[in-house]
Amino acid sequence: MPTTLITGGAGFIGSHLCERFLAEGHHVIAMDNLITGTIDNIDHLRDPRFHFIKHDVTEYMYVCGKVDNILHFASPASPIDYLRMPIQTLKVGSLGTHKSLGLACEKRARYLLASTSEIYGDPLVHPQPESYWGNVNPIGPRGVYDEAKRFAEAMTMAYGRYHGIETRIVRIFNTYGPRMRLDDGRVVPSFIGSVLRNDPITVYGSGTQTRSFCFVTDLVEGICRLLHSAEREPVNIGTEFEMTILGFAELIKQLAGSEAPIVFKPLPVDDPKNRRPDLTKAHTILGYKPSIQLEEGLRKTIEYFRSRQEL
């Protein structure tokens, strides 16, 4: 039975990964300091093969016994979280990546880094292939996340080259689904929370900026395929279905049967104007193809938030 360690295991994506690897028969260790993750996300995983360790991965980390895979998913991941915790965000992307790579070396484990479309910044190439080096403002407020993840990619490649460990890098595009935090500020929980409370929907800027939204189980499928593949260089995972944020607000209103008004607020600094992954590499190397249509995924997500008490 392989043992898989998932940092950020109590977070949104991390908790779905825990579920998936348990279903594949792995022994799963979730490590999290719970600053943005929550035990609620993993409370249902009552399985003798599942363990939780509360630990800050920027500090020296160790686990007993064999570890076959390490997936480094710990990090604040929403703009308001990393603006609220800029130093912690820089530390988890840099020191946390270093510590978890060190453990991978010690255990001779395969290592997968959660990177992000943010490494492309406000892209000047559209859609974004992995070969694009990006357009990041290193000193802007988003730089704490973007540059930490760029450093994390460099560190991961260096450990692969220098220490000869097996490394993988996934560049994750906008992902949504159950277990996002209602107050994490990202557009999906923000819009759904607004329509369910019958509050106005706040669109930043004119709403002409675009994103491509991927349902979390499709992302997890792509990550598993990448982990088991031989590809050492970064691979984009997401969907190619791109829409404007204003169009997205209208769609959520329609799906929730809401008449909530749309109000406009200033666009945050360095908010990317367009984002869509070029998935050619994921299709070709991994046979990856997302299967959940946006409306289906949003219905499931709306249902999840409806069932929550904290609305």
Neighbour tally for 98: CB within 10 Å: 18
Q: Is it true that the peptide bond before 127 is cis, omega within 30 degrees of 0?
A: yes
- Nearest approach in angstroms of CB 247 to ligand UDP is 11
Q: Indicate the residue among 53 and 80 with the shorter CB distance to ligand UDP.
A: 80
268 binds ligand UDP (CB under 6 A): yes
The residue from 145, 159, 176, 288 that is catalytic is 145
Exposure string over 34-63, b if 16+ CB within 10 A, otherwise e: ebbbbeebbeebeeeebbbeebbbbeebeb
SS (H, E, C) the chain: CCEEEEECCCCHHHHHHHHHHHHCCCEEEEEECCCCCCHHHCCCCCCCCEEEEECCCCCCCCCCCCCCEEEECCCCCCHHHHHHCHHHHHHHHHHHHHHHHHHHHHHCCEEEEEEEHHHHECCCCCCECCCCCCECCCCCCCHHHHHHHHHHHHHHHHHHHHHCCCEEEEEECCEECCCCCCCCCCHHHHHHHHHHHCCCEEEECCCCCEEECEEHHHHHHHHHHHHHCCCCCCEEECCCCEEEHHHHHHHHHHHHCCCCCEEEECCCCCCCCCCCECCHHHHHHHCCCCCCCHHHHHHHHHHHHHCCCCC
Interface map 226-265 toward ligand UDP (x if CB under 6 A): -------------------x--------------------
Region from 83-91, 97-105, 182-190, 234-242 binding ligand UDP, contact rule CB under 6 A: 182-190
State which of residues 98, 171, 186, 281 lies at the interface with ligand UDP (CB under 6 A): 186
Q: Indicate the residue among 122 and 221 with the shorter CB distance to ligand UDP.
A: 122
- Nearest approach in angstroms of CB 207 to ligand UDP is 7
Assess whether 304 carries a catalytic annotation: no
State which of residues 174, 217, 239, 258 lies at the interface with ligand UDP (CB under 6 A): 174
- Nearest approach in angstroms of CB 122 to ligand UDP is 10
- Nearest approach in angstroms of CB 19 to ligand UDP is 23
Measure the CA–CA gap between 108 and 32, rounded to whole angstroms. Answer: 22
State which of residues 10, 136, 187, 214 lies at the interface with ligand UDP (CB under 6 A): 187
Region from 49-57, 68-76, 202-210, 282-290 binding ligand UDP, contact rule CB under 6 A: 202-210
Region from 24-32, 58-66, 119-127, 203-211 binding ligand UDP, contact rule CB under 6 A: 203-211
Q: Indicate the residue among 220 and 245 with the shorter CB distance to ligand UDP.
A: 245
- Nearest approach in angstroms of CB 261 to ligand UDP is 14
202 binds ligand UDP (CB under 6 A): yes
- Nearest approach in angstroms of CB 65 to ligand UDP is 37
Interface map 47-86 toward ligand UDP (x if CB under 6 A): -------------------------------xx-------
Interface ranges with ligand UDP (CB under 6 A): 78-79, 174, 186-187, 190, 202-204, 209, 211, 245, 267-268, 271
Query: Which sequence positions are flagged as catalytic?
Result: 145
